[in-house]
Amino acid sequence: MSHIELVSIDPCTGEAIWTGTPGNVAAAIAAARAALPGWALASLDDRIAVVRAFKAVVTDRADAFARLIATETGKPLWETKTEVASVAAKVDISITAQAERAGSRTGEVAGVRQVLRHKPHGVLAVLGPYNFPAHLPNGHIVPALLAGNSIVFKPSELTPAVADFMADCWAAAGLPPGVLKIVHGGGDTGRTLAAGDIDGLLFTGSAGVGGALARQFADSPGKILALEMGGNNPLVVWDTDPATLDAVAALVVQSAYLSAGQRCTCARRLIVPDGSEGPLLDRVTALIDRIIVGAPFDEPQPFMGPVIANHAADGLLAGAALLADKGARVIRPLTRHREDRPFLSPALYDVTGLSGLPDAELFGPFLQVIRVADWDAAIAAANATQFGLSAGLIGGDAALYDRFWAASRAGVVNWNRPTNGAASNAPFGGIGLSGNHRPSAYYAADYTAWPVASLEADAPEGGIATGLRA
């Protein structure tokens, strides 16, 4: 019997829910490489049939799927049900995107037939995160399979059980053996996979890991690398109607604390006009004080669960302590509900005027308030980050939003909506430390296939009219 080295822990109870050993990366890549020709040469209709069968399996197993995600991540059941629905919905969206962005086109140039087709890259590695352990890697996997690639998927070591469940759904859908291989492990396994005999890597995760991957791939320009990373996202509240302050406060709370702040699009910085922020913050804190933090299956359902693990909670508490030491005014503290478990309260700190603040993504229920003198200062504060994933404006009119949109440095820019609202039938990604200009979601079809442009004739046609001796 092999020694068990990997354990997945229920963050709410501390109980082990999955055990396993690190995967054999070389064997997984070899199996995917062997399965590639048959899958790549299968007709698009055949590949579509398999992914539609996957959707049917996911829909049939939705309850068990949602309960497993909730158990392994600690997210409330109401939220994991929406994640499973997104996994299923990704199929039809990806089929449409593939046809639109990576399908075949035929035209004519100067009387010659012009054809555009796309080819799969080959064996693609997918590195998935823990916060949406099904939906986010699925957003790479479905488009990649439609394009004809085979895949080696390394899930987060914190959510291996969800990955195994997904793999079983694909097997039940009739995906040929070897086309999707799961390899479990931690950072060393990910680095080994990235250095292996693959044709590209699709990543969702932290900026630190994404930067390391970019450096690792610097000598491999022929391999596709798609990076979707985090954000230090600004939410500007400006020129709001006092009658709408309750709605505004709700949008702020949703932006900052949904999924216990463990969404890459969560608002991290709330930028408000200095001197008039009181009524808004009163309403925000009133909502914070009503937020139920609890386990996934509690009744009534909690708004948010724990963060993913004790080490994540420890890091967040250290980050909060650093800001407090720098002089931040604690409006609502970041506190731990239980010393042995990662349940955290939603926190709100005013960091106005403080210098030397880290430009970091505090990946949890933590919002920083920044008071500014005028609109130009608000824009400067919003853009004072190396990240560029999401940004939001609440309030103002269409003209002000146009100014905000034009000045924003983010790939997702929302108006009078939460920063973490994004549509699956639109591209998703950011700039700077948030991504490498390869947005996912609807545009995943762009990086899972490469275009081949052809000029074609049914018979040889040619002659040289100039430059030949008689």
C-alpha separations of 276 from 271, 367, 378 in Å: 12, 18, 14
Please list, in sequence order, all residues whose beta carbon lies within 8 angstroms of the beta carbon of residue 132, skipping any fewer than 6 positions away.
83, 263
pLDDT, one tens digit per residue, over 210-237 is: 999 999 999 999 999 999 999 999 999 9
Strands 440-441, 427-428: pairing is: antiparallel
pLDDT, one tens digit per residue, over 427-439 is: 999 999 999 999 9
Provide the 10 A C-beta neighbour count for residue 339. 6
Q: May I ask the CATH architecture of the domain 6-229+435-455?
A: 3-Layer(aba) Sandwich (3.40)
Q: Looking at residue 1, what is its pLDDT?
A: 37
- Active-site hit among 264, 266, 277, 361: 264
Beta bridge partners of 19: 7
Q: Which stretches does DSSP call E strand in 197-345?
A: 200-204, 224-228, 233-237, 267-273, 329-332, 336-338, 341-344
Of 50, 212, 214, the C-alpha closest to 144 is 50
Hey, what are 298's tokens? 């509690």
| H and E: helices and strands count for the chain | 14, 21
Residues 286-312 have a mean pLDDT of 98
Residues 113-135 have a mean pLDDT of 97
Share of the chain above pLDDT 70, in %: 99
Q: Is 175 helix (H, G, I), strand (E, B) or coil?
A: coil
51-90 in b/e form (b: 16+ CB < 10 A) is: bebbbebbeebbeebbbbbbbbbbbbbebbbebbbbbbeb
Where are the alpha helices (H) located in 296-431, listed in sequence order?
310-325, 375-382, 398-407
pLDDT, one tens digit per residue, over 239-289 is: 999 999 999 999 999 999 999 999 999 999 999 999 999 999 999 999 999
Strands 336-338, 341-344: pairing is: antiparallel
2/448: higher pLDDT: 448
DSSP state of 230: -
- Active-site hit among 72, 83, 157, 228: 228
Q: How far does the chain reach from its first CA to its final CA, in angstroms?
A: 83
Please list, in sequence order, all residues whose beta carbon lies within 8 angstroms of the beta carbon of residue 357, skipping any fewer than 6 positions away.
323, 326, 351, 368
CA 2 from centre of chain:
34
Are 310 and 339 in contact by the 8 Å Cβ rule? The answer is no
328, pLDDT greater than 90: yes
Q: Looking at residue 392, what is its pLDDT?
A: 98
pLDDT, one tens digit per residue, over 363-403 is: 999 999 999 999 999 999 999 999 999 999 999 999 999 99
33, pLDDT greater than 50: yes
* Rounded Cα–Cα distance for residues 339 and 343 (Å): 9
48, pLDDT greater than 70: yes
Q: Looking at residue 2, what is its pLDDT?
A: 47
Of 138, 123, 128, 121, the C-alpha closest to 26 is 123
pLDDT, one tens digit per residue, over 179-194 is: 999 999 999 999 999 9
**Single-letter residue type at 403:** R
Sorted by where each begins, the domain ranges of the chain are 6-229+435-455, 233-415
* Rounded Cα–Cα distance for residues 76 and 62 (Å): 15
Mean pLDDT of the chain: 96
Q: May I ask the CATH architecture of the domain 233-415?
A: 3-Layer(aba) Sandwich (3.40)
Are 155 and 163 in contact by the 8 Å Cβ rule? The answer is yes
DSSP state of 139: H
* Rounded Cα–Cα distance for residues 240 and 257 (Å): 21
* Rounded Cα–Cα distance for residues 210 and 213 (Å): 5
pTM greater than 0.85 (yes/no) = yes
Positive or negative, the CA dihedral 89, 445, 224, 182 is: positive
Q: Is 228 a catalytic site residue?
A: yes
4, pLDDT greater than 90: no
* Rounded Cα–Cα distance for residues 241 and 251 (Å): 14
Q: Looking at residue 3, what is its pLDDT?
A: 63
Q: Looking at residue 423, what is its pLDDT?
A: 87
C-alpha separations of 124 from 20, 196, 217, 395 in Å: 23, 10, 14, 43
* Rounded Cα–Cα distance for residues 324 and 321 (Å): 5
Residues 106-111 have a mean pLDDT of 93
Residues 75-85 have a mean pLDDT of 98
